[in-house]
Structure 1
Amino acid sequence: MTRESMKDSKVADEETGHNEPLGGSEGNTFEAIGWALRAILKHWALILAAVLLFSGVSLAYSKSLPKIYEASTLIEFDPDVIKPLGNKTDPMVGWSALWDTKEYYETQYRIIQSDRVLSTVVRNLGLQNDPDFLGYKPTAPVPMESAVESLRGRLTVEPAKGSRLVYLKIQDTKPAQARRLSEAVAKAYIDHNLEKMVSATGDTVVWLSGQLDHFKRELEQTEDSLHEFKKQNDLPSTNIDDLSKMIRMEMQEYDGALTRTRLRRQELSARHTELSKVTTEHPDQIPASELLSNAFLGQLRKQYQEANQERAELIAGGKGENHPDVKRANEKIALSKQTLVNEIRTIQGAVARDLAIIQRQEAGEAALYEDSRKKAVELNLKELEFHRLDRLRAQNEKLYAVLLEQLKEADLRRMMNTNNIRLIDTPVEPKSPIAPRVSTNVGIGLLTGLILGIALALLREALDNTLKTPDDLEKRLDVTFLGLLPEIAEEDLDGKPAKGRRKKARRIKTELAPELLVHERPASGVAEAARSLRTNLMFMNPDKPYRRILVTSAAPAEGKTTVAVSVAVSLAQGGQRVCIIDCDLRRPRLHRIFDRAGDIGLMNVILGEATVEEVAKPTIVPNLYCIPCGPIPPNSADVVASEKFKHLLDEVGEHFDRIVLDSPPVVAVTDSAILSTLVDGVLLVVRAFKTTFGLSRSGLRTLRDVDAPIAGAVLNAVNLDRHEYGYQRYYYYRHEGYAPLPQGGDRPSDEAAAPPN
């Protein structure tokens, strides 16, 4: 990918997202915050209007609502009902699981708002005929359902967080009515709960009496069954668990003895197997374990081996079988062999006897273990049945005791008329209304208006695709920023400050055209800006200065002629011979600025009717000459592309240090693209807050397509009082007489700086 295509891709991405901070691809967080703050400052009037609108609507709406008063009664739900016997268990078995659960409290809240409780309030207070409650005087009693629904709509049940307290709140337009209704609802609910508890307690007494007789019979039956089971199975009167423990210990002893016997039998069996491998032909191949445990056997084996070795030495010494020494050695070998074999047979017989004995012992111990195991299995079956019967007896005994105690307590409670709902605080007549909350509503409206206003401001700023600041030129267009020219305000023209914070550019009659303000008022901010632009141009390429400078713009009415004249004047003020040529052959303007209307100009030279010396005439600005357009041609593009035009530029260059060409917009016509190939540097003029990014991008693309030497861009018609230009480096452009000495030239004399008469 080429550098140009990368730039175009980058610019296209930015154009799609309008403003860079909202795109989020290249702007960091601080840039986005700065962009948002600038948008808020720019559209502060819109935000203020939204805030005032929503605040006013909220205030008007709040004032139109009737005043609502609220009275509340505080009651307590006490799960621990007073129990005469001191038992912590609720005697009402059907309700016991509900006291400490969320479901119970939710049920009570619904009961408070139920038709039964509220209809009691309506009847007691006569609300069906009460005009204060209904809000009008009824001709006949309203239906009970309507009165109940109206009362329910005013009632709020609000539990106190982290406690068993509940507020019964009633809202009404009359404070006395709110207090009376709240108190009546609390009383009706407490009475209803007491009536329910008394009725439920009576039912509980009847139910508990029947259950007590039933469990008494069940307890007697389980006790008889347990006694009969112990008698039939000859179980001791002691605990059956002790008997089971004794049998298990006996099994453990038998199992341990049997394990040890089996290990001994395995050892003897292995020893017997190893000894059986020893033969009479090779009696010296005795297992090592036998040699270690029997020293005598090892001595016999050693004698046998020594006799064999002695015979072998005699044979090796050359003595034959009939030699007396050899015969004595053979006799010694036979004697030691026989002795060794006899000892081995003795050991084998002893091991065989021990193995038989241990096998019989193992069989006996296995039989004892098996007998004990069978006894344990039989006892385990009896134990399971015994525990089942004993557990059933214990359960019936416990249930009987609980029912007996609860029956006594329920009977006492029925006589005491206890209630677990208590009144804590009676309602008082409210002094101030709770609604409408004017300050809260206005605050919400203010906040809503502020948020909506900021959102609209950010949206407008995001949709605003115009170029505004030097950063927009450098970052979004990827072009060098050369300088800016402030907006020509009234104070620049007549020397008096404009009224108001924001200064508008307004044309008034002066001795010279506004484009010549750099010459007319050399100490103004506009002149200082023009000199700064001149300095940047001079130092951009000091080895190869821009002698031919083309000034163009992307679209009409962006101030390119003003910029061209200002640049030419500032260059001339620096002591250089400068010629400004009006190359806008379609809509020329230089002849009006320099008062040469109807005079010969560029086209006369092209047509051979005049020479360069005749058309390049001095202006009121020292060192500045002007060549106007002359007659407007029908084919301006062909004119600037002709060889005669090129010769004209060469000829003008021989007489002047700098040439400034004022050209038509680059996007509208092709003249500027052709002219850009004939100059050393191109200045693209961008009008602040008017020229769009897409249009400027198109103009730059046109110039880059012809390899134009783009020097940079100039931001024109900048209102320095806007917050976007609150930079310290532009501060001196706002105040006449405080500008620093321009680089590349001396400050104008006092006479030159004086305002025109």
Structure 2
Amino acid sequence: MRKSNDYLRNFFTIFFARKFTIGLVALAIGAGAILFALLYPPIYGASASVILKGGIALKNPESIERIQSEISTINETDLFSEIEIIQANVVAEMTAQALMNLGFEFKSGLMDTPEKKQQRAANQISAVIEAGINPRSNTIAIQTSWNNPQKAKTILEVLLEKYLDYRSQIFQPREAEAFFADQLEKFSNELQQKENELNQLTRESQTPIADSEMQSNLLNMKNLERQLFDLKQAYYDQKFRVDLMEADIRSGETSYFSYINDPQIQELSNLVLEIIKQRNETARIFHPESKKIQNYDKQIEKALGSFKKEISKFILAEKSELENINQKISFVENQIKALKKENMGLFEASAKSKMLERQIAVLEDSYTTFSQRLEESKISNTQTNRLFSVSILARPEASDAPVFPDRNKVIFMGILAGIILGIAAGFLVEFFDHTFKSPEDVENNTGMVYIFSIPE
């Protein structure tokens, strides 16, 4: 009877048997985590927050006398719009320029021009700026990170300053009107250009509906492919007949042409066979050198000559038919290639047309949006209050401890991972070790009774 395993005992047995492997793996991973936590350059963070406050809602001046002004509410779209302004490349460029004027150093190449250096600095600023909405509030949290806490704070202070400056420029009524007018003209020109491209593409493809034309071409291609299959089958059959007849001509076996379904050839074949039959019957009576037999031989030779000439003509006609079939095959193949090429062009035209249609839809939506914004900016010129304003809720503050790496967390997770992976490595080594390690292994795997063991 096989004994059940004592799994807890086996676990501790394996654990102590492979303690060196487990310890080595755990020590290596734990040491790696400790070295990473201690040697990796620390990254410090700084944070600030701004709050959006509602103002008098914009209205049509014609309704001002009849409708009481309302305080606008801040919605999620407004908050996300502010985040887009904070993370705008223009704000990053303005921040980078201001920091470089203060002597702030950024990573740059040895051969970089001043413009390239400023662009690299702006990209580095954009990479370390994060902004998000605080839950259930009209506030936006802004974070930045750098290898020095004071520098991180400085970056965030300058960024907030440039963000407020840029925002005031965007929401300045007169400047906003000019900005929206320029954007409206830009989208109008792009929309006209895309519509002209779409019309030009339709004229070049010579079909307004490329998809239906492609379906029609595919149907024609299927029919042509069936015709091509039939023609190739007919070609192989015809070539087999021609090759067979030419082989028979070379062999001189006239009786082999009985398979040709032609009345004149059949008649000549029967005539030759009949003369040969008469000659053979006469040869039983007369001597082969007799005049009668010689006459039969001349008749056979003459009939065979006429028969072979007729066969040669028939073979030429069959070859001509074979060439005709081959030309038909080439014609059908060229038609299929032309349809495939046309379909490829139609597919490209269709894909480009759909892309242009999507671009036109986006431009139309943008055109409508900026048209509305232009009207709103014109209305706002008669009012003194903005739609909403932004104030700094919390000034930038830098963290004393690095935000990355968190040494305590990294060391703890490294040690924990080392222990887990060490135990896993020990059990994996034990799994591939198939030697007997206990009396129970002998009894369970061989069925033999364990009597005694000799200690090492």
Query: TM-score, structure 1 length as denominator?
Result: 0.29
Larger radius of gyration: 1
Query: TM-score, structure 2 length as denominator?
Result: 0.46
If asked which structure has higher relative contact order (CA below 8 Å, sep 6+), I would say 2
